[in-house]
Structure 1
Amino acid sequence: MSGDLFVKRYDDPERCATAAAHHGWLASLDSGVRLPALIARGAQHLVFERLPGRAPRVKDLPQAAAALGRLHAAAHRQELRATRLDRPHTTSTGLVIPDFASPRRAPLHHAAAEASIHGSVIDALLDRAGESVTFYKDPNVRNYLANGNEVAVVDFDDLTLAPFGYDLAGLLVTASMTYGRLADRSITRCLRAYRVAVAPQICSLADLKRYAELHHLLTLRYLGRNGYRHPWPAVRPWPDPFLTELP
């Protein structure tokens, strides 16, 4: 890192090339959401412009949710309208985006077994082929930069297809595990901001709760690291839907 540049280094040249392709596709969506410009690339590093800002705090989360919604809406409108969640998608730039379930099924079943959650519950949440499609891009709260009224999106290592609301749930889970339990009004404002950006009928609170549990299972191993100080069961702002709401 130096001056106005940020250098992201990779151990694997293929992962470096994939991250550059992800960035290029997201930038091509013309969503109005700020992304850092990719200045240069090598076999195992990418050089981005350094954007001003800091990780969003609780008060910034609705702005982050709105930025995420604008990206999701642009991706669906321009590329993913006719895509299915259970099939990989090849974009207009030649990027192959993996389907929703395949990269998650094994790790989720493993984590669910340790948490005494029946695998059929996990499968019911993963097998959602008929839903409208957007993407997942590691919604960790640290992958946003808040600067005044603007929120930029950074980190382009991971990308898969996902249903609307899945990344929003991840943002709220990672923020809760970082800052503690979010007030109901914060959740409501984030959901409203996201739905204004995508469509009023997309992403119900029930969907948000269920997707949050998938993120919790996938994030368990990071508790105590990377700023994750609070276990999700201790800061979950609603009852556990696996126990109270799912069939």
Structure 2
Amino acid sequence: MNGAIFVKRYDDPDRCVAAAAHHAWLAGLGSGVRLPALVARGARHLVFERLSGRAPGVEDLPRVAAALGRLHAAAHRDELRAARLDRPHTTSTGLVIPGFASPRQAALHHAATAAGIHGPVIDAVLGRPGEPVTFYKDPNIRNYLANRNEVAVIDFDDLTLAPFGYDLAGLLVTASMTYGRLADRSITRCLRAYRLAVAPQLCSLADLKRYAELHHLLTLRYLGRNGYRHPWPTVRPWPDPFLTELN
């Protein structure tokens, strides 16, 4: 960081180009959610406005959930109403957003096998192409900034299509692995805030639980790093839904 800017560097220039395109698309949605301005770019770096704030704590999670919901609602309304989860979608700006299953299927099956979870259970969660579509943008709790009553979204490296609630589940998993088990009232408030922003029918608690297990499998390799101190099975606020489905 230097003064009022933040420089994000990339080893791969294609990743740099993609992150800039993701940022431009998200900024153009008109969601009302704060994003840092992209002020300059090079072949392997992006220069962003540096926003003040801190990583959200547990008390900030409902506001983060609401901001995430506003982004998801705007994306569906303006760009993704005709998208399908099982195929890439080209936006009005020419950005090609990959489908939901294909970018993560191999990694999920590998992690599921290691965890003793049957592959068909994973496929059942991934294989629902007719659902309303929004997007995934790494929902790690560290990719938000909380500042008084405002929540800003940062980090634009990854973007795929996703069902409503998938990123909310990721937010709750990464917060739990960072801070410990979340109280039931915190989960309820986050789900309510998200649903108010999108629509009550677009994110069921049952889906949230299943999506959380996908995030758990994809985050396993980071346990003990990047602030992830608590294994999800020890802080999961409900019974393991995959075990319930297998029984």
Q: Same fold (TM over 0.5)?
A: yes
5+ unaligned residues in a row in structure 1: which ranges? none
Instruction: Write out aligned runs for 1:165-244 (5 A).
Output: 165-244=165-244
What code does the residue aligned with 2:141 have?
Answer: V
The alpha-carbon deviation at position 201 of structure 1 amounts to 1.3
What does the per-residue CA deviation read over 1:1-39, in whole Å, with 9 as the maximum and x for residues that have no partner? 100000000001110000000000000101000000000
Q: The residue matched to 2:202 in structure 1 has which SS?
A: coil
The alpha-carbon deviation at position 246 of structure 1 amounts to 6.2
What does the per-residue CA deviation read over 1:159-214, in whole Å, with 9 as the maximum and x for residues that have no partner? 00000000000000000000000000000000000000000111010000000000
For 2:69 and 2:233, locate their aligned partners in 1 and report how far apart those are by CA, in whole Å. 26
The alpha-carbon deviation at position 51 of structure 1 amounts to 0.4
RMSD: 0.8
Find the counterpart in structure 1 of residue 157 from structure 2. 157
Find the counterpart in structure 1 of residue 113 from structure 2. 113
For 2:63 and 2:128, locate their aligned partners in 1 and report how far apart those are by CA, in whole Å. 28
TM-score relative to the length of structure 1: 0.99
5+ unaligned residues in a row in structure 2: which ranges? none
For 1:232 and 1:100, locate their aligned partners in 2 and report how far apart those are by CA, in whole Å. 23
The alpha-carbon deviation at position 221 of structure 1 amounts to 0.1
What does the per-residue CA deviation read over 1:135-161, in whole Å, with 9 as the maximum and x for residues that have no partner? 000000000000001100000000000
What code does the residue aligned with 1:240 have?
Answer: D
What code does the residue aligned with 2:204 have?
Answer: S
For 2:17 and 2:234, locate their aligned partners in 1 and report how far apart those are by CA, in whole Å. 39
What code does the residue aligned with 1:192 have?
Answer: R
Q: The residue matched to 2:85 in structure 1 has which SS?
A: coil
TM-score relative to the length of structure 2: 0.99
- Count of aligned pairs between the two proteins: 247
The alpha-carbon deviation at position 244 of structure 1 amounts to 1.5
The alpha-carbon deviation at position 245 of structure 1 amounts to 4.2
Q: The residue matched to 2:112 in structure 1 has which SS?
A: helix
Answering whether residue 95 of structure 2 is matched by residue 95 of structure 1, we say yes
Answering whether residue 20 of structure 2 is matched by residue 20 of structure 1, we say yes
For 2:177 and 2:117, locate their aligned partners in 1 and report how far apart those are by CA, in whole Å. 21
What does the per-residue CA deviation read over 1:62-115, in whole Å, with 9 as the maximum and x for residues that have no partner? 000000000000000000001100010011111100000001110000000001
Answering whether residue 36 of structure 2 is matched by residue 36 of structure 1, we say yes
For 1:110 and 1:200, locate their aligned partners in 2 and report how far apart those are by CA, in whole Å. 33
Find the counterpart in structure 2 of residue 72 from structure 1. 72
For 1:172 and 1:91, locate their aligned partners in 2 and report how far apart those are by CA, in whole Å. 28
Q: The residue matched to 1:103 in structure 2 has which SS?
A: coil
For 2:142 and 2:246, locate their aligned partners in 1 and report how far apart those are by CA, in whole Å. 30
What code does the residue aligned with 2:97 have?
Answer: I
For 1:246 and 1:174, locate their aligned partners in 2 and report how far apart those are by CA, in whole Å. 25
Q: The residue matched to 1:24 in structure 2 has which SS?
A: helix
